[in-house]
Amino acid sequence: MGFKQFLKKRSLRVPDDRTTKAAELTLKESLYPIALVTILFFLWGFSYGLLDTLNKHFQNTLGIDRTRSSGLQAAYFGAYPLASLGHAAWILRHFGYRAVFIWGLFLYGLGALFAIPAIINHSFAGFCICIFIIGNGLGSLETAANPYITVCGPPKYAEIRINISQAFNGIGTVVAPVLGSYVFFNFDEEKALQNVQWVYLAIAVFVFGLAAVFFFSDIPEITDADMAFQSAETHAGESDLPFRKQYRLFHAAFAQFCYTGAQVAIAGYFINYVTETRSNTDSALGAKFLAGAQASFAMGRFAGTALMHFVLPRKVFLVFLTMCIVFIGPAITQRENTGMSMLYITLFFESICFPTIVALGMRGLGRHTKRGSGFIVAGVMGGACVPPLTGKVADMHNDTGIAMVVPMAFFIVAWTYALAVNFWPWYRDTADAFTTTEIGLGDRHDGVENMQLGTDNLRVDEEKAAAGQQEKV
């Protein structure tokens, strides 16, 4: 094979207006790409868990208050909409999923390398800039990975697939605080900062290597035409409507903003919470308690995913988000082990909310799937907005426990989406249509591969879908 043929085979550009065999991927065909992309979920879980630990670490070593330390979360999650609605979204629509994976890993590695001189110079502002670059990388990965896992395989199991992959994200959030408790808090300030440098160097080496793996891997690309075909087959979507009229999508994105903001605020100030409310608890022990809380979060992912085999995902989502509201309440007023236990239980029930909002929010988008997924991922920006507000309330009252009223309020707003998708037929019927479809589980349709988006066959299917929606209304 010549060099030109090699480059052509490894091309990252994929025509988005033609269906591929990915429109009807079977479980067996989807195993390898799902396994490879799941590694990315672990990576940003690890990075997120590391961020929560560094929040308290920089309070100690650089002498900054809780409000200013939330600049880490603001830089990290503030980068997400820039990626999911900007550069990553553009690459996804004009090239494909694999291109975004490689681009996101490149930015992640670049930010990790730049973090080293910022740490050497004890520059919190410089480190926040590096975290912003890393956030752009991880935002790019989430822009592609969440929808890719959702659509890579039989639609019937979309929520289960994304929750399993997100469970490895939970494992990453457990590993990072455990690592932090040993390498950040058990040394003098100078040695601890050196350890942070080595951690980010190791991250850079690993992610650059993983980018090479994605470049040489043959993973299926799911096109807009593939998603339009699935939407037409299930008669569940409104992909024939303009993007601006995808109202369920915008509700899901807003719910994601509120939910993610609450989740990040709780995790970001968890160590502050336990060191203030529990006797004889220092930052090192607090980091270990955070690892335990994140383990509870990971267990919730596996438990929730198992439950989805027997109960509709939308119902599991409603119960879990309701329990978040129920158990965060006592954490505001209770202290010692009781208050900490309430946060442990809250993290358990947070587990399946983020990925399930992604999966449910993408239902029926059809040809708008790639663009729409960017809006849902952009909701992660809540993680940049709610933690500073929580930190401000904690500083005002000198009490992180009282500040937990802020994430509770945002949980309640996100709850409106859980209620809508369970009790409003317009939401509910679309979600349920995909849980009963047999696409990817039976024989393939003849002539689906290479069908062009906008051909008569596909247009007829979309007209039938639209007619079905009008009859329901």
Q: What does the chain come to in residues?
A: 473
- Rounded Cα distance between 224 and 17, Å, is 6
Computed from CA positions of residues 401, 407, 413, 418, in that sequence, does the dihedral angle turn out positive or negative? negative
Least confident of 239-248, 299-308, 452-461: 452-461
pLDDT confidence band for 23 (50 / 70 / 90): low
The stretches of 121-246 forming alpha helices (DSSP H) are 124-151, 158-183, 189-216, 224-234
pLDDT confidence band for 322 (50 / 70 / 90): very high
- Rounded Cα distance between 94 and 374, Å, is 14
φ, ψ of residue 454 to 5 degrees: the values are 100, 0
- Rounded Cα distance between 410 and 260, Å, is 9
CA distances from 401 to 249, 321, 329, 335, 397 (A): 34, 20, 10, 8, 9
Mean pLDDT for 23-40 is 82
Around 265, how many Cα atoms within 13 Å sit in the side-chain half-sphere?
Answer: 33
Q: Which residues, other chains included, contact 18 with Cβ-Cβ below 8 Å and sequence gap of 6+?
A: 223, 225, 450, 451, 452, 453
Mean pLDDT for 107-115 is 90
pLDDT in tens, 237-276: 555 678 788 888 899 999 999 999 999 899 888 888 988 8
Residue (of 111, 81, 98) closest to 144 by Cα position: 98
Computed from CA positions of residues 36, 233, 14, 370, in that sequence, does the dihedral angle turn out positive or negative? negative
pLDDT in tens, 121-162: 878 788 888 889 988 998 899 888 888 887 787 777 877 888
Q: Which residues, other chains included, contact 436 with Cβ-Cβ below 8 Å and sequence gap of 6+?
A: 156
